Chain A
Amino acid sequence: MREFSFHRAASVADLPAGATIIAGGTNLLDLMKHEVMAPESLVDITRLDLDRVEAEGDGLRIGALVRNSDLAAHPTIRRDYAVLSRALLAGASGQLRNMATTGGNLMQRTRCPYFYDRRMACNKRDPGAGCAAMGGVTRNHAILGASDHCIATYPGDMAVALRALDAVVEIDGPSPRRVPLADFHQLPGDTPHIETALQPGDLITAVVLPAPVAGQHRYRKVRDRASYAFALVSVAAVIRLDGGTINHAALAFGGVAAKPWRDPDIERLLTGREPSDALFAEAADLLLRPARGQGENKFKIPLLRRSLIATLRDATGMEATA
C-alpha cells in the first residue's frame, strides 16, 4: 500500500481538491492494498450529514452515507421499494453491508480478476495496456455492451434495483446536478477507465427515488453459492397486473454488463399483454438479441433467459412447476 495523507471532512465544502473519497472503505481499501488504486490523499466523508432517508415529493431522498444495512431495513423501503431492500440483502455479507454506503456501493469497481491483479494487462487500470481477461478466465464477464477494450461487469446489486426504480443520482461538485441512474454507469467503448458520469471534484450526495410503483417487487440473484458471492446474473423486477394484463413492467439486469442493463423494448413488449410462457420467451429473445459470450461465460445467455422467465412467472403468479 502506498503512503497517503488522510483528511476527515467536516462539511461538503471541506473536500480537498484531488483527494479520493473514502466512505465505508470496503472496496477502496482492498484496491489500495493491491495498489490497483493508489491515491496520494484520502478524504473520509463519513462525518458528513448525508446519512438520512427523507421524503422528497412523492419519492424518497437517500443520503449517500446511508449504510446498506440501514437502507435495506428502512420501513418505507421495505414497504414501497421492496426490490431495493431485496437487492441490498442479496449483496455481500452482513458485516460488509454494515459498513458499505449508498454512494460507495454505486461506485464499487468491477470484480474482474485481471483488474485486481497488477501482473495482468488491464485497460481499466492502465488505459492502452490491453485486456488480459480476453482469452483468460471469463466466467463472470459481460455478455452485453462489452467492447474490444474491456469485458468487465459492474458487479453490484443495489444499483440494479435502483435502475428498475428509475432512481436519480444527486451530485455535488463544480457543477451540481442530478443524473438519472440510466446515464450514471458507462459502457466501456474505448474508454473502459471511465466508469461513471462523475467528474473530478464530484461527490455523490444522495440517490433520489421517484414515487413508488405498487406491484410485485422481485430481485432474483443467481450465484455460485447461496450467499456472499457476486451475481452470475440478476434480475430486478417491478411488475403490476391489471385485470389479467401487465400494465407496468420495469426490468433491470445485473452481472451481465458494465452497467445495470435495462431494455425498454422488452418492457414495451410486455406491457398490455397477458402473461404467458410464449410472451416471456419472446421477451427473453428480445433482451438477448445483442448478447455475446466471451468463451467461459456463454452460459450466462441461457441463464439470464431462464432467470428472466422464472422471475416473470413468479411476479405474475404463474405456477412455478408448469
Chain B
Amino acid sequence: MTRHLRVDGPNHDDRLDHMAQGVLGQPLNRLEGPLKVSGRAAYAAEARPANLAYGVLVQASVPAGKVLDIGDAPGALAVIQDKRMVRYAAQGQAQKAPKSGPDQVEYMGQAIALVVADTFEAATHAAQNLMVRYAAEDVPVNPDAVTPELPPQKQASAGDLDRAMATAAVSVDAVWHTPSHGAAAMEPHAAIAQWDGDRVTIRAGLQMLSSNRAQMADALGIRASKLRLLAPYVGGGFGSKLGINAEAVAAAIAAKELNRPVQVSMTRQQVFDLAHRRSETRQRVRLACDPDGRLTGIGHDVLVSNLPGSEFSEPVTQATPFTYEAAHRQIVHAVARIHRGCAGSVRAPGEAVGVTVFECAMDELAEAADIDPVELRLRNIPEDEPVTGRPFSSHKLAEALRDGAQRFGWSDRRPNGQRAEGEWLIGMGMATAVRVNMLVESRAKVTLLQNGQAIVETDMTDIGTGTYTILGQLAGEMLGLPVDRVEVKLGDTDFPPSSGSGGSFGAASSGNSVYLACEDIRRQIAKAMGCDEPDLTLQNGMARAGNIARSLSELIDGSLTGEGHLEPGKTEKSVRQATWGSHWAEVAVNRWTGEVRVRRMMGVFACGRVLNEKTARSQCLGGMTFGIGIALTEAMEHDSRDGHAVSRDLAEYHIPCHADVPGLEVHFLSERDAYVGPLQAKGLGELGICGAGAAVLNAIHNACGIRVRDLPATPDKIIAGLEARA
C-alpha cells in the first residue's frame, strides 16, 4: 500500500529527531563521489552503444525568418529537418513539448536541422558547411526597441505608492540593469536515443524526468509509456536541463530514421545559444520610509524579455511582496517580446537578480536615512505576510541578521572609503537572503531485503547536488541501517515519478516521498513485532519495541516494499513558505584599476532541517559563488543588431574562477519548519544565490563610495565612478 500524504497542515512531531540510527544530517561524502572522480560515472554522452551515429545540430545564422533550403551535406549519413524538432527548450514542469517546426527561425542560433555522420567531427564539418538559404525577417532584438506587454496577473498594488514617495522622510528611486546570464553547467547538453521497435530509450542530461517524459512523448507524437528516459548522472543543470531541448528530440527522430542509436551533443557554444538564458532585467526600485527607517512604500518595476508567445518571464519580484513591511506597494512586471534566445529558469529564477537589486536599494536607503543597514532590515520585518495577512511557515530573518552581524564582525565596519591597504580600498556589505519555498508531488519506492539491505527507487535526479547521498541517509535513518546498506537508484523513468531537481524543491519533495515509503515499511515491521509503529526503534539492522529485540532478517520473509507519495496541499496557500538568511561580504577595490576582489564572504541560512551538513554547505558555497558572478563577472552579451549571444564559451562568459572566490563561510540556523511535510526540510539550492551579489556590491560602495547599478561591476564601471568623483 502506498503511504500518501497531502501536506494540508502542520506537523510538529519532529519524528526524525527521535530516530535511532543518527545518520541523517551527518556531513557524509557523496556516495557516488568516487565514481565521478575516477570517470566511472557515465554522463549522458558517455555511453557507447554499438553502431552509434553522431548528430550535430545545424543552427540558424539569421535572427528570424523562414528556412527555404537547407542544402546538402556530402559525406553525411543524413540531413534531417523534421517538423517535430523543437525551436527551443521546454520550460520546467511543462507537460507539453515546446514549439516545434524548425524551419521557422525565431532567434539566431536556433536549431534548424540535424546532420548525422559516422563521427562527431564529420557531422560537425558537414553541419558547419551547409549552404542554408533563408527568407530573413526584420525583428526587434533589444528590450528597449518594443512596447512591452504588461500581463495583468503579474501586476500588483496596494495603497498609493506615489503619495508615499512624495511624502516620505527619506526615499530611494533608482534603476538597475542586469545582463542575460547563462546556466553554464559543466556538462554540455547531450542525448543518446535508441529504438527497440516502437519503444525508445533516451539517455540525456535532464533534471526532471517525469515531465521530461511527457514533453518528449508529445514532441515525438508517441505514448509516454513507449518512452524511457535515463539520467543517472547529470553534470549540473542550474535550470538549463529542466525541460527537454533540441538535442534529445533530434536524437530520437534521427535514431528512428537511421535505425541505429544516435548521439547528439551540443558544443559549448551551442549550449550558450540553445539553453535557456536568464533574461536581462531593468529594475526600478522605489523605497519610501519614515525618519526611523520604517518603510512606508515599496515599488519594484521590472522589464524582462522573452520570445513572442513564450509563457515564462523572469519572476524578478517574487520575494518583493513579503520580504519587508510597507503599507503602500506596487509591482509592475513588463515583458518585452524580442528575438534573443529563449529565456527560462536559470539558477534561482527571480530572486537571483530581484533580491540582489532590491537589497542594493535597501543599502542606498540605509545610507540616505543614516541607519545601519542591518538595523534598517530588522525594523522592517513583517509579522505576517504583508497584504494577505498569512502567517509565515517559519521565519528566521531576524536571527540570521543578528547572528551574521555578530559572526562577521559587522560592528567593525567603517564609514565609506575609510579603510585602505596599499592600493586597495576595503569595505563591508550585507544583504538579506530570501527565496520562496515549495513542494512538488513526488513518489518513491523502498524495498527492504531480508539481508538488511534497502533499495530506494525514484526517478529523481542527482545533478551534482547530493541526492543519492541524502536519500540514502534518510532511508538509513528511517529503517535503522548504516548508509552503506542502502542502495539509491535514480534517474530512470521506470522508477516512480518524482519532483525532479529544480526550484530547490527536490530534496524536500523527493525526501518526503522516501520518508513515507520508509514509514510504510516501518508499519509492516511494527506489525510483525506486534507493536505500534511509533513505538518501534530501528537501529543497525535490529528492531526493538519495549523489551523485545529482533533482527530484521528474522522479521522479514523475502522482502518488504513501501511506497511513498507526497503531494503539496493546503499549506501551499495557508502559509507563506520561504527560506531566509543573511549575506556578508568584505571586498577590496583597487583604487587605480577598479578591480574588485572579494576578501571574505559569509552566509547564514535557515532552511528547515539540514539533511547532510556537507552537501548542504556545498550548495550554499555554489550559490554564494554565483552571487559573486552576478555582482562581478557574469554577462552574456548580445549583439544589438541581431541579438546573438556573443560570449559563447567559458573563456568569454566569466564564471568566477578560484581566484575570485575566497574562503566562504556558511552557517545554518537550527530550524524545523512544520508546514513542509514530515521531513521539515526546505529548499536550499538557491537560497545561497539570492542576495549574495548585493552584499558584494554594497561592500564595494562601502569601500569606495561608488554604486554600480549596471551589473556586473567590472573594472570599467568602477573606474567610471572613480573618474567621476575625481
Interface of A toward B, CB cutoff 8 Å: 1-3, 33-35, 111, 113, 117-119, 135-137, 139, 220, 222-230, 232, 299-300, 302-303, 306-307, 309-310, 314, 320-321
Contacts and interface: CB of A to CB of B under 8 A. Distances in A.
B125 A35 contact: yes
Contacts of B638: 137
A227 B655 CA distance: 11
B552 to A, nearest CB: 50
Given A3-B121, A34-B128, A230-B651, 12 more contacts: A3-B122, A113-B647, A113-B652, A117-B648, A222-B594, A224-B654, A225-B660, A227-B657, A229-B654, A229-B657, A299-B720, A307-B593
B641 A119 contact: no
Interface in B617-673: 632-633, 637-641, 644, 646-648, 651-652, 654, 656-660
A313 B184 CA distance: 40
Contacts of B423: 310, 314, 320-321
A311 B656 CA distance: 25
Contacts, number: 107
B633 A224 contact: yes
B714 interface: yes
B78 interface: no
Given A1-B124, A224-B633, A135 B652 contact: no
Given A3-B125, A136-B639, A225 B656 contact: yes
Interface in B48-77: 61
A225 B633 contact: yes
Given A3-B125, A113-B648, A309-B592, A232 B659 contact: no
A232 B648 CA distance: 18
A303 B719 contact: yes
A321 B424 CA distance: 8
B716 A232 contact: yes
10 contacts: A1-B121, A34-B269, A137-B637, A225-B632, A225-B633, A226-B660, A227-B658, A303-B715, A306-B592, A310-B590
B714 A224 contact: yes
A226 B657 contact: yes
Contacts of A302: 719-720, 723
Contacts of B651: 111, 228-230
A273 B633 CA distance: 40
Interface string B594-610: 11010000000000000
A111 B652 contact: yes
B387 interface: no
A310 B593 contact: yes
Contact of A225 (B128, B267, B657): B657
A278 to B, nearest CB: 15
Contacts of A111: 651-652
Contacts of A2: 125
Given A225-B654, A320-B423, A321-B420, A232 B723 contact: no
Contacts of B122: 3
B39 interface: no
Interface in B98-140: 108, 121-122, 124-125, 128-129
Contacts of B591: 320-321
A216 B604 CA distance: 45
Contact of B128 (A118, A229, A230): A118
B422 interface: yes
A252 to B, nearest CB: 17
Contacts of A224: 633, 654, 714-715
A119 B656 contact: no
A303 B637 contact: no
A3 B119 CA distance: 11
B313 to A, nearest CB: 25
Contacts of A226: 595, 597, 657, 659-660
B422 A320 contact: yes
Given A222-B593, A226-B660, A227-B657, A303 B639 contact: no
Contacts of B108: 119
B128 A137 contact: no
B441 to A, nearest CB: 41
A1 B646 CA distance: 21
B61 A119 contact: yes
B125 A1 contact: yes
Nearest to B109: A119
B662 to A, nearest CB: 10
Nearest to B650: A228
B629 to A, nearest CB: 9
B61 A306 contact: no
A293 to B, nearest CB: 11
Contacts of B640: 136
Contacts of B592: 306-307, 309-310
B595 A222 contact: yes
Contact of B715 (A117, A118, A222): A222
